[in-house]
């Protein structure tokens, strides 16, 4: 495996070098400006060309890059550059989660201030070089003309997953293994058995502190979302349209589960007012038996607890609904953190698109993240990568070594979904690696990857004239459900729960224009499917196609 992969990367290197010759000794590199409109960004180098990595990139592509980072989040610096017709060659903005940034990109594209990745690729790249751009990511970023003017970092693409392999879920329910064993290692796969186990654990003490049966995020947030995924509440109807769980009662079992946990004292009343730090403190103190949250948000607390007690660590359990349906968990797939665009007047379009393609390629991604094969890392027989012992020792002796080499100098086209497949198995005989295995969120959640799927994706039209009205209607509904659901979750009896649930079902549709809101949501759902070329997001329905 090692020899085959090495030969493959060597072949790619030869191809890429013939695709574009480096600048000759008499030809000065083209100087490009890369404006990053994110104050937290840091170029981890002494300066472009002063480290080995960026010096090689200049030699390879004939470009030099000057990074300019925004001083604040106001967007004023970029606005000034645009208004003065001094648009930088490359611009990185906040991701699709930031409406002003995505609106600005669309406006700049419509004003022909940006060039699409599709057009640059068609003009300058070979088919092999084009293939490094992930197809589903390009599809998701496409604007009305079908072209992508932005490309993200830290996106998760199905193109990067080995066949039959899924990403880990974003959220999960995890349980303290040592406490579970103390109560007799009971089955926890059904709602009743799970709550019984939590009740048994809540009668224990740990370091003289009472154990909490079931802990939620701060203020109880996301509790329903997490339980509904374990209970397989569909994301869409059987004919592929927006699904209203309230209208047909599909969410009742999940809410009833949470209410019963509250009535049995497994969820403390204080949980619904807890801050994030209070939740962290409870975990670190060893008080939490079962945790329903995003485990990655509490890894430092898992590690702190493990340091004090190596038997205290969390594992996953396959909780199912009363019918025994398999969980359907939303995975960590996403469309990136930051997004980068290329201006239409950039000074080196061919070199630039080949440079970006290289950063997305197997060779470029590995080198940027790991360094040079044979010096800083080596292939294992199973196709994974191990860091060279000499390099580990060298970085321990000189904490600035990676910066001097330019390894990980910038991550604006980083693709962790691709890189994680090369992570070598941990040596569980090594105490530090064993700790990482038992307390790291990725390792904890791996057993759940078989139930993990990309959630439904919605593509809202920023020019939709219904948007303002829909927002106003949603505010009407939310102002009621926020209070009503809180009362539902803390209902003192089964009868009170049933009455409150029936009330919500009856009252909610009368408070806002539900038909308009559902149609608006459904249009966005269908647009999301069209972008990705799928008919269904809900896995059981997709599998029937």
Model pLDDT for residues 191-247, shown as the tens digit of each residue: 999 999 999 999 999 999 999 999 999 999 999 999 999 999 999 999 999 999 999
Q: Are strands 172-176 and 205-206 parallel, antiparallel or unpaired?
A: unpaired
Q: Which domains does the chain have, with CATH numbers?
A: 2-162+335-420 (3.40.190.10), 172-332+431-453 (3.40.190.10), 467-542 (no CATH)
* Whether the Cβ atoms of residue 305 and residue 286 lie closer than 8 Å to each other: yes
Alpha-carbon torsion, ordered 395, 398, 401, 404, to 10 deg: 180
* Whether the Cβ atoms of residue 17 and residue 398 lie closer than 8 Å to each other: no
Sign of CA dihedral 130, 134, 136, 140: negative
Which token pair is 167?
């990403």
First to last CA, the chain: 36
3-state secondary structure (DSSP) of residue 335: strand
Q: Phi/psi at 68 (nearest 5 deg)?
A: -125, 125
CA distance 302 to 283: 7
pLDDT for 161: 74
CA distance 478 to 483: 9
Which token pair is 53?
């990595």
Cross-strand partners of 291? 174, 215
Cβ count within 10 A of residue 304 = 16
CA distance 462 to 542: 28
- The string of pLDDT tens digits covering residues 171-186 is 999 999 999 999 999 9
Which long-range contacts does 303-309 make (Cβ < 8 Å, 24+ apart)? 303/435, 303/439, 306/435, 306/438, 306/439, 307/435, 309/178
For 28, 54, 63, 104, the CA distances from 23, given in Å and listed in that order, are 7, 14, 8, 34
CA distance 311 to 313: 6
DSSP 92: E
Query: Which of 160, 455, 456, 452 lies closest to 316 in space, CA to CA?
Result: 452
Low-confidence stretches of the chain (pLDDT beneath 50)? 1-25
* Whether the Cβ atoms of residue 272 and residue 258 lie closer than 8 Å to each other: no
Query: Which of 164, 449, 453 lies closest to 316 in space, CA to CA?
Result: 449
Name residue, tokens 């472009």: 48
pLDDT for 7: 37
Query: Which of 292, 234, 233, 218 lies closest to 261 in space, CA to CA?
Result: 292
CA distance 133 to 15: 17
pLDDT for 11: 39
For 27, 87, 113, 354, 362, the CA distances from 33, given in Å and listed in that order, are 19, 9, 15, 17, 26
């Amino acid at each position: 495996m090692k020899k085959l992969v090495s030969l493959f990367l060597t072949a790619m290197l030869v191809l890429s070098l013939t695709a574009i010759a480096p600048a000759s000794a008499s030809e000065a590199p083209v100087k490009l400006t890369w404006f990053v409109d994110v104050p937290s960004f840091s170029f981890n180098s002494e300066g472009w060309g002063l480290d080995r990595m960026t010096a090689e990139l200049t030699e390879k592509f004939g470009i030099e890059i000057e990074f300019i980072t925004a001083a604040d989040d106001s967007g004023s610096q970029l606005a000034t550059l645009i208004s003065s017709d001094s648009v930088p060659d490359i611009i990185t903005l906040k991701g699709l989660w930031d409406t002003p940034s995505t609106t600005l990109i669309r406006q700049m594209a419509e004003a022909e201030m940006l060039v699409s990745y599709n057009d640059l690729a068609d003009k300058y790249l070979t088919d092999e070089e084009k293939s490094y751009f992930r197809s589903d990511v390009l599809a998701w970023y496409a604007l009305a003309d079908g072209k992508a003017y932005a490309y993200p970092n830290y996106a998760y693409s199905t193109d990067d997953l080995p066949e039959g392999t899924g990403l880990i879920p974003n959220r999960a329910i995890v349980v303290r293994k040592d406490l579970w064993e103390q109560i007799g290692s009971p089955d926890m796969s059904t709602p009743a058995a799970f709550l019984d186990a939590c009740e048994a654990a809540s009668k224990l003490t740990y370091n003289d502190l009472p154990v909490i049966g079931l802990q939620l995020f701060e203020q109880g947030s996301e509790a329903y979302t997490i339980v509904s995924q374990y209970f397989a509440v569909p994301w869409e109807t059987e004919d592929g349209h927006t699904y209203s769980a309230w209208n047909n009662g599909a969410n009742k079992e999940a809410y009833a589960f949470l209410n019963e946990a509250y009535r049995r004292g497994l969820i403390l009343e204080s949980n619904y007012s807890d801050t994030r730090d209070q939740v962290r403190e409870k975990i670190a103190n060893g008080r939490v038996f079962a945790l329903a949250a995003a485990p990655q948000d509490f890894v430092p607390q898992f590690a702190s607890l493990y340091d004090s007690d190596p038997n205290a660590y969390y594992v996953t359990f396959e909780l199912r609904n009363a019918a025994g349906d398999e969980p359907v968990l939303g995975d960590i797939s996403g469309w990136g953190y930051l997004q980068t665009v290329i201006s239409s007047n950039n000074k080196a379009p061919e070199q630039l698109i080949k440079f970006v393609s290289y950063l997305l390629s197997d060779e470029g991604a590995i080198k940027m993240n790991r360094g040079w094969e044979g010096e800083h890392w080596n292939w294992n027989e199973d196709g994974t990568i191990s860091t060279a012992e000499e390099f580990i020792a060298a970085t321990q002796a000189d904490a600035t070594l990676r910066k001097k080499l330019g390894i990980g100098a910038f991550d604006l086209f980083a693709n962790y979904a691709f890189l994680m497949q090369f992570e070598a198995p941990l040596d569980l005989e090594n105490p530090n690696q064993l700790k990482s295995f038992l307390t790291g969120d990725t390792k904890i959640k791996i057993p759940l990857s078989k139930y993990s799927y990309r959630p439904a994706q919605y593509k809202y039209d920023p020019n939709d004239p219904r948007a303002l009205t829909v927002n106003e209607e949603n505010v009407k509904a939310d102002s009621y459900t926020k209070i009503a659901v809180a009362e539902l979750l803390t209902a003192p009896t089964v009868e009170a729960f049933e009455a409150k649930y029936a009330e919500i079902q009856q009252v909610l549709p009368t408070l806002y224009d539900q038909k308009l809101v559902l149609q608006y949501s459904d249009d966005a759902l269908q647009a999301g499917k069209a972008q990705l070329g799928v008919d269904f997001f809900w896995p059981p329905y997709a599998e029937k196609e």
